[in-house]
Structure 1
Amino acid sequence: MRQSNMFVSMVVIPLILSQSARGKDCVCELQNSDPAFPENKLKEVEFTASQCIANITSEKMTEIDRLVLGLQHRIWQLLDNVSMLEKEDNGNLYAAVSLRIIELELLEIQDLLDKLNRTTNNYQQLSVQTAAELKDMEETMVELEKFDHTQVMVKQRENQRIKRDLERCKDVLNSTAPAPTLSPGRCGLGRLVNVSRPRTYSLTAYGTSYNFGAWGRDANPAPGDENKYWLVVLSSSNVHGNFIRQYSSMSTIILGIGPTDTYISNSNPTTNTIQGPNMVMYGNALYYNYYDTNSVCQFNMTTSSVSTVALPKDAGYNNKFPFAHLGATYIYTDLDFATDESGVYVIYASKSNFGNVVISKVATSNPPVLNQTWSTSLHKRTVTNTFMVCGVLYATRYLNKETEEIFYSYDTKTNEERYDLRIHIKKMQTNIRYMNYNPRDHLLYVYSDAYIVTYEAMFQEVN
């Protein structure tokens, strides 16, 4: 309604002045040569726009994601149940009951598929209908703008464009300031006390063939890249990778649509390629174990430039000190990388520290530089993964197929070590190949046997 009043007030009305027969009184004869403003058309546009906003919401658009995740979970649950029944086969005693259970689960899966198909069809129809309505609204607004004789709307759009440009300039200026450096162990989050059940669980677009990889979000993104997610799968012998795949949102990485690939090298493996699944993204650069060396590698995503810094000569690499448990060794995991509120770390083991874990802070300059280093009493081969929160190192170990345990912490501020945390993580697959904490959303990003999973880290204030 505000727009319609504005249009009416801008109409040019010529006035003809004539003198009355009674004397000096003047009479204004209004002659409006323009047609009346079609206010009903503007009301129709406003109503259609409000209907579009009501029909298309972010909650509705994520419904497909939830259905796909639920469907994947039920299928894998069915496979586990079938495998269990095969192992527990006792002749014909339980055959009828077992088949009935499987039949019921298949019916539930079919229901999910039907709902997914209905939802997809509804969204397709909604998309076609909305596109037609938007076109009609655009044509109507172009017609209504003809009543704007003084070009108020044109100037208003120009002002809006200038305001957007100013806001972008402000963002660029703010982004040039260095990220705040927080004292390790003192972020105001308190003590890590628990980890949520999986918040995201999805098979990547590569399928189940690639069990080793990594994914997550940039812990210190460039302006405009705040919502991006990155994914790296080790496509050569589950050891090496030579490109990074990026997605524009969580929905697109789950659905595997619209990726952008950035290549580190043309072949794999060779110089510069990634070795091992442990890597992080920070400041638009990927940090990883440089191929066939004990070096930290920094790959700039914008310039595709590579720079390195070597670890101490006795630092393990090429399966000297990998993550492991009694049942398996996670190959080429000698170097682990982590991000927290203050930057990037590399976690490794060395001969001089008797194969125990060493933590080094990595200055994210170009080239990178190793800063302060801490030595722990934690033997690296007893660990399956590590991550950092507020300058505190946390380590996990394998308990069984269903559970991983955060059992250890080392505070780089106080040098205090603890082996009694007992924080359990419910696994969706047997092995967690990669784990990293992102300080932006307080989530743990996990790559578990070809699946990408997230967990929320939960903290308790310390008085």
Structure 2
Amino acid sequence: MQFLMIMWISSLLLGTQAQNTASFSRGNDRNRRCQYTFTVDSPTESSCPATASSAEIESLKSRLGLVEALITRLTGGETSVTGAQSELRTAYSQVTGERDRLKQEKARLAQQVEQLQQTVEELRREAERLRSRPCPQQPLYDSSHQAGTGTSQSHLVSRPSRPQGDPSNLRDPSWSYSSPAYQELKADIAEFPAPRPEDPEDSKGCGELVWVGEPVSHRKADSIAGRYGVWMQDAEAAGPYGSNMLWRIDSVGTEVRQLYGYEDMDQLSRGFPAKVLLLPEAVESTGAAMYRGSLYYQRRRSRTLIRFELGSESVAARRELPHAGFHGQYPYSWGGYTDIDFAVDESGLWVIYSTNKAKGAIVISQLDPHTLEVKKSWETNIRKSTVANAFMICGRLYTVASYASPNTTVNYSFDTATSQSKAVAIPFQNRYRYNSMIDYTPSQRKLFAWDNYYMVSYDIRLGKQQ
């Protein structure tokens, strides 16, 4: 007992001396039992050696490794996300550029569609205007150049001369045209079925037409302006253009003045003109012809014949065709103001027309190709308005019965050598059912035709001349 008291007093004394470095605490342990704790700082050690078990240390290291791996993974993921974002931005830029390009293309196509619609509307209004407008009364012959073509006549111009006081006049005041709309008439279709003749053929010289082959299509016109037209080849070509050159005029419109030239049939079929000439005065209808380096055509709304020289690209001669009907007075049955029709054959240059005196019957005149003066004329008994078209071969006139029937005939012929006409029945095909031009081409020994936008040709056979 005495010993315990001494120990207690000693501990108090020691506690008093070391109260700054010792502590005493009391509390419950995990089993809820009271536990006294007495803590004293070590006088010699600044820190205690590690008391954690090796298992705890390994566990801590493992956790730290997991944390480091997670940090590394997150850092690498940010790099991948950055790369993916860059690729997305690039793809978005490409898609945006393609969208803008498509918008521009859409705007351009919309503009083209609008322009085409405007063109169609203008053509429709022009057609309506022509159908409804009354025809103005104007002189049928203008002795001066039109505005913009000069103030004086060229020294090459040739005109018919008349004695002073001569009562004859090139005008026909008893007739006046009434409708300026593009003329289309209806033909009385007359078909004469006949077997293909087996007459002997003359492959070089002249003879009577005995057979016309099936049409061969070479090209279709590109626009409404080419529904009717004329295409031709110079039988006696003169410089600067060769004998293979082909020429074309689209004849729908109020101011037809463009003449297209093609180097050969292949270029025509492909639609690649080598030359485009602007004629000084507008063309009337589909009756033009090419001969000896010049284009021969009828001036619009007049009976004036014009010779346009290709080499100089100028008018070399002009002349009024005496008393000839024009602008719808004596057309072919399909209409089109086809009153005056040039033709070329082995005998030279011809013009097919009618007059008041002939009362609508076909008149044929052979022309001087240089001056356009009428050398000789023949009046036939074939009414011009009852046939679809006409052409000359070896001094003979031939007419076609129908412009619309797919199977029609060459139905009449007139021989200028004997002044005799006769009915014939040579089968002829209108493949596209609206034939607005038929001409003979001596250099090719073919018929050229314009059938409802299509340029076609026909092989022919001539019988031996008796």
Shift in CA distance, 413/245, structure 1 to aligned 2, threshold 3 Å: same
Match of residue 215 from structure 2:
198
SS across alignment from 2:381: strand
Q: How does 1:137-286 map to 2 (within 5 A)?
A: 188-204=205-221, 206-223=222-239, 225-237=242-254, 240-265=255-280, 272-286=281-295
Match of residue 304 from structure 1:
313
Match of residue 357 from structure 1:
362
**Partners of 1:379 and 1:392 in 2: CA distance:** 16
**Paired positions, count:** 263
Contact 1:229 1:253 in 2 (8 A): yes
Contact 1:200 1:455 in 2 (8 A): no
Match of residue 75 from structure 1:
none
Measure how far apart 1:397 and its partner are. 1.4
**Partners of 1:258 and 1:231 in 2: CA distance:** 9
Measure how far apart 1:199 and its partner are. 3.0
Shift in CA distance, 290/399, structure 1 to aligned 2, threshold 3 Å: closer
Moved more, 394-403 or 421-430: 394-403
Contact 2:447 2:457 in 1 (8 A): yes
Matched, 1:346 2:362: no
Matched, 1:448 2:451: yes
Contact 1:399 1:405 in 2 (8 A): no
Shift in CA distance, 236/354, structure 1 to aligned 2, threshold 3 Å: same
SS across alignment from 1:253: helix
Code of the residue aligned with 2:293 in structure 1: it is N
Measure how far apart 1:228 and its partner are. 0.5
Deviant stretches of 4+, over 3 Å: none
Match of 1:386 among 374, 387, 390: 390
Measure how far apart 1:209 and its partner are. 4.7
Measure how far apart 1:386 and its partner are. 0.6
**Partners of 2:237 and 2:214 in 1: CA distance:** 27
**Partners of 1:312 and 1:432 in 2: CA distance:** 28
Match of residue 135 from structure 1:
none
Shift in CA distance, 250/355, structure 1 to aligned 2, threshold 3 Å: same
Matched, 1:317 2:326: yes
**Partners of 1:229 and 1:219 in 2: CA distance:** 11
Shift in CA distance, 193/297, structure 1 to aligned 2, threshold 3 Å: same
Contact 1:208 1:449 in 2 (8 A): no
Contact 2:395 2:417 in 1 (8 A): yes
Moved more, 195-204 or 248-257: 195-204
Contact 2:439 2:448 in 1 (8 A): yes
Q: What do you get for the CA RMSD once the two structures are aligned?
A: 2.0
Code of the residue aligned with 2:373 in structure 1: it is V
Measure how far apart 1:208 and its partner are. 5.0
What is the TM-score with the length of structure 2 in the denominator?
0.54
Per-residue deviation, residues 349-387 of structure 1 (Å, max 9, x unmatched): 11101110000111111x321110111111110011110
Measure how far apart 1:300 and its partner are. 1.0
Code of the residue aligned with 2:330 in structure 1: it is F
Shift in CA distance, 209/304, structure 1 to aligned 2, threshold 3 Å: closer
Matched, 1:288 2:297: yes
Percent identity over the alignment?
27
Match of residue 436 from structure 2:
433
**Partners of 1:401 and 1:201 in 2: CA distance:** 21
**Partners of 2:279 and 2:223 in 1: CA distance:** 23
Code of the residue aligned with 1:255 in structure 2: it is R
**Partners of 1:400 and 1:220 in 2: CA distance:** 32
Measure how far apart 1:200 and its partner are. 3.5
Match of residue 153 from structure 1:
none
**Partners of 2:224 and 2:455 in 1: CA distance:** 11
Contact 1:203 1:452 in 2 (8 A): yes
Measure how far apart 1:259 and its partner are. 3.1
Gaps of at least 5 residues in structure 2 are 1-203
Code of the residue aligned with 1:312 in structure 2: it is P
Code of the residue aligned with 1:355 in structure 2: it is G
Measure how far apart 1:312 and its partner are. 1.5
Code of the residue aligned with 1:390 in structure 2: it is C
**Partners of 1:395 and 1:359 in 2: CA distance:** 12
SS across alignment from 2:247: strand
**Partners of 1:339 and 1:195 in 2: CA distance:** 18
Shift in CA distance, 317/225, structure 1 to aligned 2, threshold 3 Å: same
Higher helix share: 1
